[in-house]
Structure 1
Amino acid sequence: LFQRGGRSIDIEITGPDLDRLISLGGRIFSQVMEVVPGSQARPIPSLDLGNPEVRILPDRVRAAEVGLTAREIGAAVNALVDGALIDGYQYQGEEIDLTLRGMEDWFRTQDIGNLQIYTPRGQLVPLSSLATVEVTTGPEQINHIERSRAITIQVTPPEGTALEAALDQIEELIVQPLRDQGEIDPPYGIELAGTANDLKKTGEALQWNLLLALIITYLLMASLFESFLYPFVIMLSVPPAAAGGILGLAAVNLLISHQALDILTMLGFVILVGVVVNAAILIVHQTLNIRRADPDIETRLAIRQAVDSRVRPIFMSVITSAVGMLPLVLFPGAGSELYRGLGSVVIGGLVVSTIFTLFLVPTFLSLAMDLSDWLGRQVKGGGNAGAGA
């Protein structure tokens, strides 16, 4: 799933007719080089049908007359040509296969028709009397996807081209025109797979995971603070963290090396949700403690005292966390590109979120507390009026 581990897009073409699949594969192969300049394309298997092969077409009527089936004919030919596994035995803890095969010096292509097949009636008949033997050409291998013959065009975009952009270009300029022209109607089909498609699916899943992380974090803080208002103020530190993560990733791309938005990098944004709220929690929690100790204290004074007492541990925590993750970003070596994106996102998000938290959270906390006090007075006033009546 990591883009540096394998940046490829697989164009899977499926259908019953191998010749038509090869024709479609050749057209797509040539179009890919035009749509995604600088990319590398490789057909799997090869689009060349020049590989010599011997094709045996059983005559079912003749085979039935001697009591044989097409499967039994194929098994007999396979045993004499390639060998057939019949059993195995254990030797010094290892499984040794017993293979039945013909003599090594008997086989020549032109002699396959003279191969003697033993029938259930105890007769030996030549293969040529039961099947048609053709010496022809074909592909070096035949792949299947969900029981259909398949040819795959594997495309590797250049380093400067994002996988998602290349995927969209292939879908819009190659695949969709083929669908519009009806050339890949059932039983033929075409699908985009490979690491690019996996990355896209995982990215969509991570979007929901990010939303779930936000909801869980909010509900957990709501249960701890016994309020739905204060956790909302704390969650205001998340958007600056996302912006800081993007800035950190951009700085790595600009100053160090190209870093793709891969799965670990996306995971860094999910991690930020649970990390950057710590500074805001300290400020809100300390403010509430000060107000509980002195109910008559002014709201803004309580917030100012809370920030004064908590700014030092907040900066200590952020600095130690950022410095501790700097090796993930700065140190080279094998596999460093896997974690460089994660480190840059977390460091950038922590730094930017902390700076904005010291300004945003006190401001909105003051508004939230003023709103809470006003609502409390309204409820209390309404209760007194009802009691007086």
Structure 2
Amino acid sequence: MVAGFARSLSVIVAVLLATASILYFLTPKTEYLPEGEEAKVFTMMFAPPGYNINIMKENYQAVERDFSPLVGATPKPLSDDQPIPAIDFSVGFVSASRVFAVRGVADRYQTDDFLAVASERAEALPGLRTFSSKGSIFSGNFGGTRSINIDISGPDLKALFDAGLKVFLKSRQVFENPRVRSNPSNLTLGQPLLEVRPDWERAAELGIETQDLGYMLWAYSDGAYVDEFFLDDDEIDIFLYSTAGNIEQPQDIESLLLYSPNGGVVPLSALARLEETVNTETIRRVDGDRTITLSVIPPANVPLETGVERVMEEIVVGMKASGELPPDIRLDISGASDQLTATRDALASNFLVAVVIAYLLMAAVFSHWGYPLLIMASLPVGISGGIVGLSVLNLIGANLDKIGLYAFTQPFDMITMLGFLVLIGTVVNNPILIVELTATHLKNHGMNVTDAITEAVRIRLRPILMSTITTVAGLSPLVFNPGAGTELYCGLGAIVLFGLLFSMIVTLTFMPALLAVVFRGFGPQRKPATATTATT
């Protein structure tokens, strides 16, 4: 590799082409953060307008009948006899508008299986809109690290909800079986409401002002805020409630008794009429605009970056271009997708800063501006090795189920990318040994380029192998046998481990060839031999 210029140049070109090809073709699409999964599954079921708590309770019990016998069961491989994974606990909360349930899976490797079963059981209930997700230590328990939030804004409420329903249905076409959660939960203006329309002339005669009427109705319904006080260091809110209890029927509102300064105690019907209508139960505003937010979680086999690209192309841009949405409806993307972009940009800038710092440190140590450039040339090669290793790891992990083990996939998330920062300080170690000793041989011992490089590689081979093997051995448990909690850093370990292995191979092939080409043209000047004179 170092004997001839043509051979050295061919090695350099081959390695650079291979590196560029790997970086271009094998670099995977990115995720934001690892899910940090807990062995829990959260399920939410949202009621359509008109449901009451008894109907929601029946729906919850219909699902719970399948799961409650499995609480405390021994984990077993799924079979026809036990198609549902065993669970440790099952807890649920039921209200008239929604059901919230959380269930702990006994075997954490069966969390995905239980999620599929829980989603299937919940979606089988007629009329309900459901959402299920795995527990996560990042961004809550509702898919926060992979959630693509689509904010739909517009001035007209009916057009806004029509657009929200269209985007909801479109998102299910863009992805295969995604998880979609809407806020508000119902995308129809079908929530029964009772509007109180005051007769302001009659109210003025009775001495009741606008804010007073609203405040009294507030106290009769949800409770009216009065003030706050501090008890020791605790802030306590004071609310005013009616002693008559909750309002059970709409007709009871007409008979509510109100105090008026001029007319004494009068019923509400004496100064207002009631109108039954339908509308939405909540109106969200983002930056002052009425907004519906859809949280779309792509399937596990679709990286977040790919999911964002599809949403932008087929929903945000596609639906506007095709005329499916009115011109006054605005679509924006937020959530984990925004955080992914911001974090990736910050990581890229930090990477450049780290490269500059490493270069300046080596320039100061070598007292030479050129040698660090030769050493830093091995950095892209090490990065490509990390990407190859991650691809190989995922290829093996995806086929483990064929030999009876649990299959897995390591995403290319932000923590995994931190491995590239680690490589800046580790990949350069081996080339430093070769470059330093080669330069010493050339300057101090008067060797030619070929002999200097060959001798440097021979002397440094054992230290390079020893340091690489010990580092790889130390990282192997993290990469190939991660435990609870350590799976967060499996990707980082894979990047560093395979980057070092690749760097070691390249150090013994690419670096000698690069040194041979550079030193033959711009090598250090040899020290002149010292003349000796014999005196007789």
TM-score of the alignment, normalized to the shorter chain, above 0.5:
yes
Pick 1 or 2: higher relative contact order, CA cutoff 8 A, min separation 6: 1
Question: Shift in Å at residue 94 of structure 1?
Answer: 5.0
Instruction: Tell me which residue corresponds to 1:2.
Output: 33
Which one of 499, 514, 520 corresponds to residue 349 of structure 1?
499
Contiguous gaps of at least 5 residues in structure 2: 1-31, 37-142, 398-407, 527-536
How far apart, in 1, do the equivalents of 2:219 and 2:229 lie?
A: 19
Question: Shift in Å at residue 62 of structure 1?
Answer: 6.6
Q: Which aligned pairs between 1:1-389 and structure 2 lie closer than 5 A?
A: 1-5=32-36, 6=143, 7-45=146-184, 46-57=186-197, 70-88=210-228, 95-105=235-245, 107=247, 108-118=249-259, 127-128=268-269, 132-180=273-321, 181=323, 183=325, 185-186=327-328, 188-256=329-397, 257-294=408-445, 296-373=446-523
1:229–1:368 contact (8 Å) kept in structure 2: no
1:15–1:149 contact (8 Å) kept in structure 2: yes
Percent of pairs with identical residues: 39
Q: Do the aligned partners of residues 56 and 284 (structure 1) sit closer, same or farther apart at CA in structure 2, a change above 3 Å counting?
A: farther
Tell me the secondary structure at the aligned position of residue 509 of structure 2: helix
Q: Do the aligned partners of residues 67 and 248 (structure 1) sit closer, same or farther apart at CA in structure 2, a change above 3 Å counting?
A: farther
How far apart, in 2, do the equivalents of 1:343 and 1:162 lie?
A: 20
2:151–2:292 contact (8 Å) kept in structure 1: yes
Question: Shift in Å at residue 145 of structure 1?
Answer: 1.6
Question: Shift in Å at residue 169 of structure 1?
Answer: 1.7
Question: Shift in Å at residue 66 of structure 1?
Answer: 6.8
How far apart, in 1, do the equivalents of 2:516 and 2:271 lie?
A: 93
How far apart, in 2, do the equivalents of 1:298 and 1:68 lie?
A: 104
Instruction: Please list the CA deviations of residues 319-358 of structure 1 after superposition, one character each: whole Å capped at 9, or x if unmatched.
Output: 2222111122122433444222111111111100111012
Instruction: Tell me which residue corresponds to 1:380.
Output: none
* Alignment: residue pair count: 374
How far apart, in 1, do the equivalents of 2:179 and 2:425 lie?
A: 41
Task: Tell me the TM-score normalised to structure 2 length.
Answer: 0.62
How far apart, in 2, do the equivalents of 1:122 and 1:216 lie?
A: 82
Structure 1 range deviating more: 23-32 or 364-373: 364-373
Question: Shift in Å at residue 244 of structure 1?
Answer: 0.8
**Counterpart residue type for residue 319 of structure 2:** L
Contiguous gaps of at least 5 residues in structure 1: 378-389
Question: Shift in Å at residue 241 of structure 1?
Answer: 0.9
Question: Shift in Å at residue 118 of structure 1?
Answer: 4.9
How far apart, in 2, do the equivalents of 1:367 and 1:69 lie?
A: 91
Instruction: Please list the CA deviations of residues 283-316 of structure 1 after superposition, one character each: whole Å capped at 9, or x if unmatched.
Output: 222333444543x333333333332222222222
Indicate the RMSD between aligned Cα atoms, in angstroms: 3.1
How far apart, in 2, do the equivalents of 1:62 and 1:222 lie?
A: 88
Structure 1 range deviating more: 198-207 or 270-279: 198-207
How far apart, in 2, do the equivalents of 1:303 and 1:42 lie?
A: 62
1:38–1:158 contact (8 Å) kept in structure 2: yes
How far apart, in 1, do the equivalents of 2:281 and 2:440 lie?
A: 76
Q: Do the aligned partners of residues 119 and 313 (structure 1) sit closer, same or farther apart at CA in structure 2, a change above 3 Å counting?
A: farther
**Counterpart residue type for residue 280 of structure 2:** P
Structure having the larger proportion of residues in helix: 1
Question: Shift in Å at residue 264 of structure 1?
Answer: 0.9
1:237–1:276 contact (8 Å) kept in structure 2: yes
Structure 1 range deviating more: 19-28 or 139-148: 139-148
Structure 1 range deviating more: 108-117 or 39-48: 108-117
